[in-house]
Amino acid sequence: MDFDWLHPPFNVKAPFVPREIEEAFEDPFGLKLAPDAPAFAAHARYVCLGRTAAGRGIFSLYRTNGNQIRVLATRPFTTEEDHFYDRAKQQSL
């Protein structure tokens, strides 16, 4: 899938560059979730929890039309997300 990096709604230089965000989406143990909160469901927003090739955890909020991914926000994992990711990875092994 392609990424739409034209005029992203956040700073693409900090804390992650687009290449790192794309790596997190390609993480074989990455999690892609569809939140059930009404605010997210009404606007078709999704969450990706993945790691870069260097091992940095990235939380990304995104939308997709099936052909392109548009990242709306990104930040490092919280402690809880890091634990959740590691637990899900262990379950899949």
Residue pointed to by tokens 């926000």: 73
Could you read off the pLDDT of 40-83 as tens digits, one per residue? 666 788 999 999 999 999 999 999 988 999 999 999 999 999 99
Say whether 13 sits in a helix, a strand or coil: coil
According to the model, what pLDDT value does residue 41 have? 64
Residue 92, phi then psi, degrees to nearest 5: -85, -15
pTM for the model stands at 0.88
Say whether 46 sits in a helix, a strand or coil: strand
- Pairing mode of beta strands 68-76, 2-3: parallel
Q: How is the chain split into domains, by residue range?
A: 2-92
Looking at the chain, the whole-number percentage of residues with pLDDT higher than 70 is: 96
- pLDDT higher than threshold 80 for residue 33: yes
